[in-house]
Amino acid sequence: MHKIDLELVEMTLDVMKYTIGRISSTNHKIGKPKKAEELKALVGETITNEGIGGEVAFNLWKKHLMKANVPVDHPRNLAFVPAAPTRAAIMFDLVTSASSIHGAYWMEGAGGIFCEIEAMRWMVSLTGLPEGAFGVFTSGGTAANLSAIVAARENWRSLDDQNKVEKGLIITSIGAHSSIKAMAKVADIDVVLVDTEDRLEGEALQNSIKNLTAHERKRLFAVVGTGGTTNAGIIDDLFAIGTICENENLWFHVDAAYGGGALVADSVRHLFNGIEMADSITIDPHKWMFSPYDCGAVIYKKPELAKKAHSQEGSYLDIFKDEGAHGFNPTDYQIQLTRRVRGLPLWFSLAMHGTDRYKQAVERGLELAQIAGALIEKMPHVELVRDPSLSCVLYRRIGWKPEDYTHWTYENHKKGFALVAPTKWKTGDSFETVSRFCFINPDTTEKDIQLILESMV
């Protein structure tokens, strides 16, 4: 056997051993970041003319670099929107990479795309959208939201030649995800924000539309509602928003990147009533559908409108274009041409575990939020800012200033104990610094929550 072949075999065995250990372990350290200069001092030059060798590089990863990360699936990582990919999904993410599938066109990736279609059918079924609705997997919620809004904008432009020279406008609330404002910059559209971080109600939306100038109303083409705000888990009044959009002839997009996983949960499904009226929906399987990063999804009521907006042309692409001869081409329905088959790990996990297990895991996240709320109400040094919503819990440490929350977060992180980050909540005309839990991982325990709250004493 050639030396290079032997090294690859040995490296494959090392990687598989690492992967098995990572997947089977139930006691990960939470990790903490180091400054770039600290890491450089630990590992030295890693990119050289001759190469340092796979064994040396891998050992540097295991000894130093791996420990400078915070695993998103740690049971006491309750900051931001964490993740908890199933072991099945992690394993098949490795298979996905090893299989080297280009997932843009059916001609190259039929087997992988078939699996994505199977998983997507299940996701679409959760939304209640009418027959014909379908979607594709993206790199995340930002790419999904951007794909949806570009489809909406192009549809609006097709309705009137004057719209082609106007700058479009959308309405959403200040509680919407930061990606809505970010993708509006990319799409070169204006955003009107309804001044509520709480539930966006139909009356507030209608008033915002009425307050637009005649020219602004002509430029308005879409409304973005939220199916579970990232900050507090709040679900907008989707039915009222959908009804207004229908009456006003506006595209209705629902950003359910975080909350969309809860569509599977019987206990809260009714809170999403009206999502079936949407023209497009964003859901991130890498959040509450237990897939690895990065995996988002955008779903369309009328996929043909997205195809008109996103299908790319090029003589070198013509051979891929006959869907009748080949099959479904995911790249035609979102902004990315090059794409990996991100939905493949989700498909394998669903196939292995079944959808009932997914329902149980999501319900556990909802239950953990209620458990946390009950613990907070019993403790004298903390109090709820608002009732738990979905799996988010906002609470304050009585008497603390913003710098106290920051110090507490860094100290717990430095100890490798937990990662719970502060956020801000608007009360009246001012924003208050508070603490926040977001429960995704069903392995988080009541004891974990209690220990974190007691560390604030």
CB atoms inside a 10 Å sphere around CB 345: 28
Task: Give residue 95's identity as a one-letter amino acid code.
Answer: V
**Burial class of 430 by CB neighbour count within 10 A (0 to 12, 13 to 18, 19+):** exposed
Q: What is the pLDDT of residue 5?
A: 79
pLDDT band at 2 (very low <50, low <70, confident <90, very high): low
Length of the chain: 457
Q: What is the pLDDT of residue 254?
A: 98
Q: What is the pLDDT of residue 201?
A: 98
pLDDT over 70 for what percent of the chain? 98
Tens-place pLDDT, residues 103-156: 999 999 999 999 999 999 999 999 999 999 999 999 999 999 999 999 999 999
Task: Give residue 377's identity as a one-letter amino acid code.
Answer: E
What's the CATH number for 360-454?
3.90.1150.170
Q: Does 324 score more than 60 pLDDT?
A: no
Tens-place pLDDT, residues 437-448: 999 999 999 999
Q: Which CATH number fits domain 93-353: 3.40.640.10, 3.40.50.1390, 1.10.357.10, 3.40.50.2300?
A: 3.40.640.10
Q: Does 1 score more than 70 pLDDT?
A: no
Q: What is the pLDDT of residue 237?
A: 98
From the list 176, 200, 184, the residue with the least C-alpha distance to 255 is: 176
Which residues belong to CATH 3.40.640.10 in the chain? 93-353
CB atoms inside a 10 Å sphere around CB 170: 26
Q: What is the pLDDT of residue 28?
A: 81
Q: Which CA distances in Å does 122 have to 292, 328, 365?
A: 18, 17, 21
Q: What is the pLDDT of residue 152?
A: 98
pLDDT band at 325 (very low <50, low <70, confident <90, very high): low
Which residues belong to CATH 3.90.1150.170 in the chain? 360-454
Q: What is the pLDDT of residue 449?
A: 98
Q: Does 78 score more than 60 pLDDT?
A: yes
Q: What is the pLDDT of residue 8?
A: 86
Tens-place pLDDT, residues 386-422: 999 999 999 999 999 999 999 999 999 999 999 999 9
Q: Does 249 score more than 90 pLDDT?
A: yes
Of 235 and 23, the one with more pLDDT: 235
Q: What is the pLDDT of residue 392?
A: 98
Q: What is the pLDDT of residue 62?
A: 95
